[in-house]
Amino acid sequence: MERQAAYLRNALFDQGYLDEQFLQLEDLQDETNPHFVEEVVKLFYTDSVRLIQSIELTLKNTPRDFEKLDKIMHQFKGSSTSIGAKKVKKECTQFQEYCNVGNVEGCIREFQEVKQEHAALKRKLEHYFQLAREAR
Amino acid sequence: MAVEDIGSGCSSSGDQEFHVLAVDDSIIDRKVIERLLKISLTAVESGSRALQYLGIDGERSSLGFDELKVNLIITDYSMPGMTGYELLKKIKGSTKLRKIPVVIMSSENILARIDRCLEEGAEDFLMKPVQLSDVERLRDFMLRGGEDREVVGCKRKTRDDSCSSSVLSCDRDHPLSPISVSAMAHCKPISKRSRLLATD
């Protein structure tokens, strides 16, 4: 079980889902804070719901408020960066680039990518945390 | 919950009771900073809440000034409402509070922004995501009692006179003694600056 957890964890790094910021979080985990990483990740997913909803709403309103979209995405990207969500972060950057040039279709398309990566990572991390817990 | 009070962490020195005020609109970053600093910390979500806590927003804060104990303020730059820079200005503009060191954090690598903050009296400018090594520097600073606040002025001078464009040449054996090590901390965004210059 432990090996499975370790394998899954390494895969997440190898496949580019996570970057070194995740390692930083792991470094902050110890006996006094044994679930720190999982707590931060949970917090991220809880908190990002409202940001995603906010972007969705703002994308629906016309004319599109690119400045607002950029601001919300900036927050979302910040949080993603803080947990080491590498692919999510990359899609966020792409989204912001579309915002900067006022490309509506690009934004809409890219936002789907953001959500997909966001959800994919969530599944993988949930699985990993479950294995890690069972391994203890 | 807008204000999170984290009870005394395990500050390794144990001797002094340092208290940090962390200002960040991201709840994730507030949690990480709290864990990074491992020290008694109050986290708030905005500049206006910070000012309320510090008691300089015109309204009465819950603490009398004598009870207020803040050894360091660490704030995000980009926040809705009041930016970290605006908060910095308000703090430095207050006779009560201007001696409290303020550290700015930002995910954006903008030299003009960094300069502006340092000029306004920020103790240091950290790139997000904040790393353990950054925090170790801060902790050193706090454990030394943050005594060299007045070198903020010198810092500016140092930067202009000697550091100039090649901040990379600043190191701990800076010829301009008696600038202390904590003042050198500003040059020490060498790691930041070299990161910054490299990515420009």
pLDDT in tens, A90-119: 999 999 999 999 999 999 999 999 999 999
Q: Taking CB atoms and an 8 Å cutoff, what residues of chain A touch B107?
A: 74, 77-78, 81
Closest C-alpha among B50, B114, B45, B51 to residue B85: B114
Find all residues with CB under 8 Å of A96, minimum gap 6, and list them: A70, A73, A74, A77
Q: How far is the alpha carbon of A22 from chain B, nearest alpha carbon, in Å?
A: 11
Give pLDDT tens digits for A26-72: 999 999 999 999 999 999 999 999 999 999 999 999 999 999 999 99
To the nearest whole Å, the CA of A2 is away from the closest chain B CA by: 26
Euclidean distance between CA atoms B76 and B26, whole angstroms: 9
Mean pLDDT of B115-140: 90
Give B60's contacts (C-beta < 8 A, 6+ positions apart): none
CA angle B104/B140/B130 to nearest 5° reads 40
State the Cα–Cα distance between residues B113 and B76, nearest whole angstrom.
12
Rounded Cα distance between B154 and A94, Å, is 42
pTM of the model: 0.77
Hey, are the CB atoms on A43 and B32 less than 8 Å from each other?
no
Beta-carbon-side half-sphere exposure of residue B1 (alpha carbons within 13 Å): 9
Q: What is the pLDDT of residue B155?
A: 33
Backbone angles phi, psi at A33, to 5 degrees: -135, 70
Provide the ipTM. Answer: 0.92
Q: Which residue of B has its CA nearest to A79?
A: B28
User: Does residue B135 carry a pLDDT above 80?
Assistant: yes
- Looking at residue B59, what is its pLDDT? 52
- 3-state class (DSSP) for residue B22: strand
Cβ proximity of B137 and B124 under 8 Å: yes
Single out the residue of A133, A46, A34, A44 nearest to residue A81, CA to CA.
Answer: A44
How far apart CA A108 and CA A91 sit, in angstroms, is 12
The mean pLDDT value for B45-55 works out to 94
> Given 3-state DSSP classes, what are the helix, strand and coil percentages for chain A, each rounded to the nearest 5?
80, 5, 15
Which chain A residues touch B32 with a CB distance below 8 Å? 25, 28, 40, 82
Asked if residue A64 lies in contact with residue A58, where contact means CB atoms within 8 angstroms, the answer is yes
The model's pLDDT over B69-114, given as tens digits with 9 standing for 90+, comes to 899 999 999 999 999 999 999 999 999 899 899 999 999 989 999 9
Q: Is B10 part of the contact surface with chain A (CB cutoff 8 Å)?
A: yes
Rounded-to-integer distance, Cα B52 and Cα B97, Å: 13
